[in-house]
Structures are given as structure tokens and as C-alpha cells.
Structure 1
Amino acid sequence: MKEKKIAIIGGGFIGAVTAIHLARYSKTPLEIIIIEPSKTMARGVAFSTQDSDHRLNGPSNIQFLYPEDIESFTKWLEDSGTLLKDHSAKINDGRIYARRRDFGKYVEQELFNHTKKNVSNSTISHYQDIAVSISRKKNTWYIFLNQLSSILVDKVIITPSNFLPSIPIELSPITKDPRFFSNPWSCDFSNKIKAGARVLIIGTGLTMSDMAITLLRDHKKIKITAISRRGLLPQRQRETLPQEPLWDALMRPIPNFIENHGSHNSVFRIFKIFRENVAKLKDKNIEWQVAFDDIRDAAYKLWPSLSIKEKGKYFRHLSPWYESHRFRLPPQTAQKLDDYRQQGKINYYAGSIIRVEVKNNFIQIHLRLRHNQEIVIENFDNVINCTGPERDPRKINNPIFAQLIDDGYATPSPFGMGFEVNNKYQSISQDKSPIKGLFFLGPLTRNAFGEINGIPTLIKQIYTAVKYISQN
């Protein structure tokens, strides 16, 4: 029997784990090709950082690759000696918040191991190139590469994750100014910031947190101001350990939230129930994260039942609040940011930028504060864009996305949240029919699944998707 040939476009974390799972769980041998221009695979943006203060925002026992072995990463940290070299990883209750670079190294090693040998006898190859277009003829997909000739495959899985953030239109006057950094993940911008600089960070999420602790550690005298429309900061991780393993909670046929409260098709009703649950828990001295995690674990069931109108309400009104509570800070990072704030080295605004002026010695920013509409004018030496990765494929400079949309093979989400897919991760054409052999995985499927960030949720998606992809 001829081996099925599957191409994975994107060799970051999602692409690498997809290849691992295909090789690990397929019932028959596959020929797996990863198309990735970088020499290094498996790390992506999140796990390529070499900064020792950039940590996973969850403990090691939920950062697993394999549902049947959820302690695999923790074991690797111990067996490889990595944990002994990271003196700040373990907190008082014994939980381990590892460095992101170490998790990237672990995934990279797992990909290498599965490339050498795997239970399905599949092959995994890396084509160090860029896919520039895709076309289909009958049941065969043609992928045209930038340097090599085209390749023919049976199925295509597109697994991009983090794209550069879009630049807010208000910043147009400084887009070419060397004092403005549009890419927060650039490894060299910290060296370009001078001692005593006044730095504005646009965005108050996890990316801002990473940038702030790096800059304030390396530049003792700088001062940081961070701004976002609502001024919401990432919350701390829960202090009590969950009673149920996370994988079991994610895979429940009926999640706890639905079992206790039923399924609802109104986002405001869902969050009203959440607030009621928080109040009940508070009376028992139980932290709010317990109630929130019940909603998180039920999102994959709740989200598909929402209408387009209800999803629109979520993105307009609730998404920033949800994400600031969902994507929490590791305790080490939270403590450092609290210390810097008390020392007056960082402050936060809720508001919006209404005007930017370029001066000879500084960048002048006019801010409108959210709570009282007051206009504040401040001068900065540097501005860093931490508004988060772009999710709208129509705004991403990617030739594959543009071509798939033009040819009708893919349909952008109405909310600018990736592409439309069905419950089997197949791309949906513009006439609403599934495209055979074309799949999307990762954050660009958010419109279909709602909650599709964080390692455990991504592993669940990949685990369920590859069984379908490899067998049909």
C-alpha cells in the first residue's frame, strides 16, 4: 500500500507537534514533510527566546505533548539536568515554571527522536523553504516552493502560529523611526535602548510582561509606561492545585460547567453565571480561578453553540477581559512586575493614543485616559508595539493566505480571527463546503473553536485532528 504523503506548512511548535503526533498515532506509515524556512524547528516565536526570565505561564505538569504521559516534560527537566541549572523554576509548593527556551529544546528533541524512529514507521523530512502557492488537481495537492520545485502530496496541514502584530494607524508618523520597535520578539532591540530611556509599551498582555522584565533587568534606570484600551493586566496563576488533571477536564464528554449549569447560547448569561460562582467561592475562601477554569474547560462545547451575533458580542465586549484572566503570569514574573511597579519603574494606563508627534529628541504621545477622558501628553525615547500577534489573514503578508482566499479554498473569519474550519479542521470554501485534504490547526481556527491557545488546548486539538487526518 502506497504511503500517504502529508505536507505540514509551518515548522514551529504546532507544526512540529503535528508531525510527532502523526508519526506516533497513525495506524499506517506516512510520508510527512515539514515546510519551514528556518533551520531550527519546533520552537516558533514563543519558545525561541533565550531570555532566562521568559517562563511558561503554567506549571510543567500541564505542559505535555502526550496525553498518555502528562509528566513527560517534568521528567525530561529532571533527567536532562535542566532543572538543576534553573534555580528559580520551582516555587514553594513544588510546582515548576520552566523557562520557555527549555520547553522549546524539549520539543525539538522529541521531534528529532520521532524523526529517527517512530511506532508507525513514518518518515519525517524537513524542506527548508517557503511555500508560495497551493493548487489542487483531483485528489492531489501541488505545493509550489520558493527555491525547490513543486511537491505533490495527498493532504496539506497549515499550522502558522504567531505573526507580527499590526501597527496601529495612530503610530503612522513613527513607523520608520529607529526609536520605534514594531517587532517585540526581535532579539536585538533591547541593546538599542539607552540608559535612562523613557519607554512606552503599547499593550498590557503577556508580551508586554516579557518585554518589561527584560528591559528593567538589563537597564536599571529606564522607566516604562504601558497602555492598552482597557488597561487590563494578566492575572496571577491559581495558588491551589486543581483536583482533576487538566487533560481529563479538557476531554470530559460533559464539562463541569455544563453539567452544573447547562449549555447556554448567550455570552452575557455565561459570564453572569461565572460571577455568581465567584461570589459563592469567595464565601468559602476559594479563589476565582477555580470558577474561571470551569468555563475555560467548557469553551470547546459552549463556543460552537453561539450564534454569529453572540460571538460578535464576545469579541467586542468580553475578549480582552477573558484573555487577561485566561493567560496568566507565572509567579516569578508576577512578583518581579509587582516589585518594579512599587519601585515606580513601570506604570500602566487604560486609554488610547490619539496623536503622535516626532520631535528631534523624543516622541510625543497624546493619550486619552479611559476613566475620565482626560488628555495626557508625555514624551518618550522609545515605543514598542506589543499589541499581540495579528490574526486576520487578510492583513497578514502571507502569499499562501492570499492565494487560498482568491482561489476560494479558504474563507476568512467574519471577526478577523483566522479561517473558517469545520469540526474536523477542514478548511471551508467560500461556498460553505469543506475542502478535502486541506486543514488548518492552531490559533487561526479560533473562530470555530473559541479557546485555542495555550499548550494543553493546542495538544488536544492536534491529538484529535491527526487521528482523523491520518486515517481518512
Structure 2
Amino acid sequence: MRLAIIGAGFTGTQTALELLRRLPPGSHILLHERSGVFGPGLAYSTAHADHLLNVRAANMSAFEDDPSHFLRWLWAGDLPGPAVPPSGHAFMPRGLYGRYLAETLAAAEAQVAPAVTVERSARPVIGVDEAPDGVDLKFADGDRCRVDLVVVATGNNPPQWPFPEGLAAVDPFRLIGDPWDDGELGRIGPDDDVVILGTGLTAVDVVTLLGRRGHRGRITALSRRGLLPSVHEQTRPWKPFLVPGEDPRPLAYLRRVRDEVRKAALEGIGWRSVIDALRPATQDLWRALPLAERQRFLRHLRPWWEVHRHRMAPQVAEGIFALRDAGQFAVKAGRIRGWAAAPEGLAISLGPKGGGAAERLTAAFAVNCTGVSVDYRRISAPLVRHLLDRGLARPDSLGLGFDVDENFGLIAADGTASRRLFALGPPCKGALWEITAVPDIRKQSRAFALRLFPDRDRGTPS
């Protein structure tokens, strides 16, 4: 069997790891990653030690059925920094986790060779075409090759600038569209005022980096509600309490969560334990919601879920709050109404939350941390455009990614589900909701591999 995995960040790497455990002898994986860096992906390629994982090390194993795999790797290595405690309650640098993924992939390849082989390629895949006996991959250089199955594991798409009116008048030098590009962020001088669009974890990373660089200028983060992520604290186990299918409405879910938080408080247990208890069932709870109820959740509860579910590491929060208390960092709530050039660099018209006269904010630079683009109708990536334009895939009904069936097969424009083209990871957000964090993606990739090869397992690489 010949399989192609397009993308070798966490999703593609994780899919390769699970398949390498199960593929029969003679199989071949084509692993395509246009960056040429296999394993870390964008999320875990950062070299900054202050960019920490937002999940405890104990929960970051690459293998769902081997939960201590990452901890064993940490304990076995001669790594800088404090020792990881036996509990695994530590938030490690993201770049270190990227190294773990790269080394684990290399070990898995060595474990199965030569019976199963992996071919790594940095050639961009710009299209796929289904044939009666396989799938043809089309590369940017015009070359083609035939495989049996394709997994689209392209991860997250870059953010798009909100409210483009007036944006063309702003000097592009002042607009930093990729918050992970050190070259772009390096344009910011230590005394420059900066506006950050978004107040989520990516914005937190940018503020942290600027603070560590000794930035002296004013930093202002903007979002509709002005909510920063909550902070991780030590949690205690809390029993599952929501059953998928029972009163599938966001309002009913919210009431149950609030009831459980009150019960937990009586036992001296914080709300974080209650939210964490939802994790094993989150995808099933989402799937149980009718479409109208999913839309209602997105309209009313999504921001509150995000700030409670996706939290900052404690040491990161300390730095953020120190900058805020010093008056250097502030968060504002409102909607962007327009852009303009200004002597300082740029100006933003911000309509305050609740209405009223707009506020004019000026800065030398704006950094786009609004989050990944999920509306595939607006994404210009060649492979996405090819799949949609050829009718091989369609956007899901919520505009959060590709439409997929229960086996993660891409659903074509005519409503038929493919048995050769699959999507895993963030492109499945509309179907699964929680599918961006390591625990969720490793669960999905394992389920996918087990459906293909239920009776084979070589075990995890040491």
C-alpha cells in the first residue's frame, strides 16, 4: 500500500506514527512537508524558550495508549532547565516538544525499516485527482505520482486581517501578518507602540516575547470582548457529568457545567477540574448537537469556552500581568471600524463594546493574532482551492473547515464521501470542534489508523 500524507506538522507526523505501527510489510508512506522540517510544524518550531506548551507535560505524549512516552523522553535526555516532576505537572518549551516529535518520527521510521519505508519530500502538493485505482498527486513542478490513499494534514491556515476597509492605505511594512515569523516581529523597535489584534494564546506569546526583549513601547491588545485566557492551576480529578445526546443544547450544557462548578467548590475543587472533566467527551457532545444548536454555541458561548478551555501556563501569566500592572500592556474590547495611515505608522478606529463613539488608536505596528482562518471559501492555498474547485471537497456547514464523514473522508460537492481522500486535524473542526490540541489530534489519528488496520500493532518506538 502507498499512502501520501500532505503536511508533516503535528497532525501529519502523528498520523505517520500511528500508521507506521500498523502498515503491512511492503507499504510506503510519502510524507510531504513544504517547509522541509518534519515533526515540529509551525506550532512547535519556535526557538524561544519563553514560548511554552499550554498543556502539562503529563498530557503531551504522542501516543494515546502510551501516556508516559513524552515524560520518559524528557527524563532520559540531558535537557536544560529544571527537572520534570514525577507528576508531569510542568509546562515545557514548545521548541523542545518539536524536537521530541522529530526524534520520535525518526525512531519510528528506523523501527519498521526496511519492511515499511517513508519517503520525505518538500515538494509542494498543489492538487489531487481521484482515479479508479488510486489518487494522483500533482506537484508544483508539474510532476505526478500515484498512491492508494491521501491524508490532508495541512494544519492551521494563517490569520486574515479583520475589517479590511482602509487597510490598503497603511504601509505594509507596518502590518505583521505572521506572528510566528521572527523576521517580521524583528521590525518592531524597543520604543514602538504596538497594537495586537486578538487576545488569545497567540497574542499572549507575542506580548511575552516583546516583554522578554525589553520592549519599552505601549502594547495594546484588541478583541471584541477583551478576554484574556485563564491561567492553568493544579487540578484534581472530577467525574464526567455530561452524557452526549441528553438534552443536546448549549444552554443545557452550560447549566450543568455551572451546577458542577458549584458542587466542586463545596469540596474545595476549582472550576478548572470541572472543565477538564469534559475533555474526553467534548467531541461526542459537539456531534450530538443539531446544526442550529452548534450555530447558537458559536454565536453566544464560543469566546467563553475558549478562555476557560485554552489556558496560559502560570509562568507566562506572571509576565503578562506584570506588564499590565506596570501600565505597559492593556486590553481593549471593541470592533475595528477602519484603518488609516498615521504619522506614528497606522491608526485604527475602534468601536467600543456596547456601542458609542469610536476611539482612535495609533501605533507603529499592528500584529495579527486573530486566530487561524477556518472559512475555506476564503483560503487561497493551492491545494485547498484545487479540492474545492474540482468538487472533491466542500466546506462544512459551519464554515469551520472541510466537510467530512464519520471516517474523516472528504465529502465532495455532490455529497458523496471519498474512500481515498481523508482530512485529519484542524480541517475537521466543524465535525469535531476540539481538534487543535495534541490530545484530540492523537486520538483522531489513532482512530483513523485503527479503522484501516485494526489487527496490527508494532508498539510505540522507544
Deviation, 1:438, is: 0.8
Deviation, 1:294, is: 2.5
Q: In structure 2, give the amino acid aligned to 1:373.
A: G
Q: Could you tell me which residue of structure 2 aligns to residue 459 of structure 1?
A: 442
Q: Relative to 1, partners in 2 of residues 1:451 and 1:402: Cα closer, same or farther, differing over 3 Å?
A: same
Q: In structure 2, give the amino acid aligned to 1:191.
A: G
Q: Relative to 1, partners in 2 of residues 1:61 and 1:120: Cα closer, same or farther, differing over 3 Å?
A: farther
Q: 1:95 aligns with which of 89, 98, 102?
A: 89
Runs of 4+ residues deviating >4 angstroms: 89-94
Query: Equivalent residue of 2:436, what SS?
Result: coil
Query: Equivalent residue of 1:136, what SS?
Result: strand
Q: Relative to 1, partners in 2 of residues 1:140 and 1:47: Cα closer, same or farther, differing over 3 Å?
A: same
Q: Relative to structure 2, which stretch is displaced further, 127-136 or 392-401?
A: 392-401
Q: Distance in 1 between matches of 2:138 and 2:38?
A: 20
Q: Please tell me whether the aligned partners of residues 11 and 44 of structure 1 are also in contact (alpha carbons under 8 angstroms).
A: yes
Q: Relative to 1, partners in 2 of residues 1:320 and 1:445: Cα closer, same or farther, differing over 3 Å?
A: same
Q: What is the CA deviation profile of residues 378-404 of structure 1, one whole-angstrom value per residue up to 9, with x for unaligned ones?
A: 221111110011112221111221221
- The answer to whether the aligner puts 1:51 opposite 2:44 as a matched pair is no
Q: Could you tell me which residue of structure 1 aligns to residue 459 of structure 2?
A: none
Q: What is the CA deviation profile of residues 109-144 of structure 1, one whole-angstrom value per residue up to 9, with x for unaligned ones?
A: 111112222289321111220111111111310011
Matches within 5 A, 1:252-271: 256-259=240-243, 263-271=246-254
- The answer to whether the aligner puts 1:308 opposite 2:302 as a matched pair is no
Query: Equivalent residue of 2:435, what SS?
Result: coil
Q: Please tell me whether the aligned partners of residues 377 and 395 of structure 2 are also in contact (alpha carbons under 8 angstroms).
A: yes
Q: Distance in 2 between matches of 1:45 and 1:183?
A: 11
Q: What is the CA deviation profile of residues 189-240 of structure 1, one whole-angstrom value per residue up to 9, with x for unaligned ones?
A: 2321122211100000000000001011113312210010011111111322
Q: How many residues align?
A: 454
Q: Identity of paired residues, percent? A: 28
Q: 2:58 aligns with which of 55, 58, 61?
A: 61
Q: Please tell me whether the aligned partners of residues 140 and 153 of structure 1 are also in contact (alpha carbons under 8 angstroms).
A: yes
Q: Could you tell me which residue of structure 1 aligns to residue 225 of structure 2?
A: 230
- The answer to whether the aligner puts 1:11 opposite 2:11 as a matched pair is no
Q: Distance in 2 between matches of 1:50 and 1:439?
A: 32
Q: Could you tell me which residue of structure 2 aligns to residue 326 of structure 1?
A: 309
Deviation, 1:27, is: 5.0
Query: Equivalent residue of 2:109, what SS?
Result: helix
Q: Could you tell me which residue of structure 1 aligns to residue 132 of structure 2?
A: 138
- The answer to whether the aligner puts 1:214 opposite 2:209 as a matched pair is yes
Q: Could you tell me which residue of structure 1 aligns to residue 344 of structure 2?
A: 361
Query: Equivalent residue of 2:112, what SS?
Result: coil
Q: Relative to 1, partners in 2 of residues 1:78 and 1:91: Cα closer, same or farther, differing over 3 Å?
A: closer
Q: 1:418 aligns with which of 389, 392, 401?
A: 401
Query: Equivalent residue of 2:156, what SS?
Result: coil
Q: Distance in 2 between matches of 1:407 and 1:137?
A: 13
Q: What is the CA deviation profile of residues 329-363 of structure 1, one whole-angstrom value per residue up to 9, with x for unaligned ones?
A: 11111111111111112110111111222023332
Query: Equivalent residue of 2:375, what SS?
Result: coil
Q: Relative to 1, partners in 2 of residues 1:299 and 1:243: Cα closer, same or farther, differing over 3 Å?
A: closer
Query: Equivalent residue of 1:340, what SS?
Result: helix
Q: In structure 2, give the amino acid aligned to 1:454.
A: A
Q: Could you tell me which residue of structure 1 aligns to residue 190 of structure 2?
A: 195
Deviation, 1:274, is: 0.9
Q: Could you tell me which residue of structure 2 aligns to residue 121 of structure 1?
A: 115
Query: Equivalent residue of 2:91, what SS?
Result: coil
- The answer to whether the aligner puts 1:336 opposite 2:336 as a matched pair is no
Q: TM-score, normalised by structure 1?
A: 0.91
Q: In structure 1, give the amino acid aligned to 2:402.
A: F
Q: Could you tell me which residue of structure 2 aligns to residue 382 of structure 1?
A: 365
Q: Distance in 1 between matches of 2:114 and 2:295?
A: 43
Q: What is the CA deviation profile of residues 283-336 of structure 1, one whole-angstrom value per residue up to 9, with x for unaligned ones?
A: 332111122123332112111121111111111121121111111111111111
Q: Please tell me whether the aligned partners of residues 354 and 367 of structure 1 are also in contact (alpha carbons under 8 angstroms).
A: yes
Q: Distance in 2 between matches of 1:283 and 1:350?
A: 33
Q: 2:410 aligns with which of 427, 431, 450?
A: 427
Q: Distance in 1 between matches of 2:247 and 2:137?
A: 42
Q: Relative to 1, partners in 2 of residues 1:174 and 1:445: Cα closer, same or farther, differing over 3 Å?
A: farther
- The answer to whether the aligner puts 1:71 opposite 2:45 as a matched pair is no
Q: In structure 1, give the amino acid aligned to 2:254.
A: F
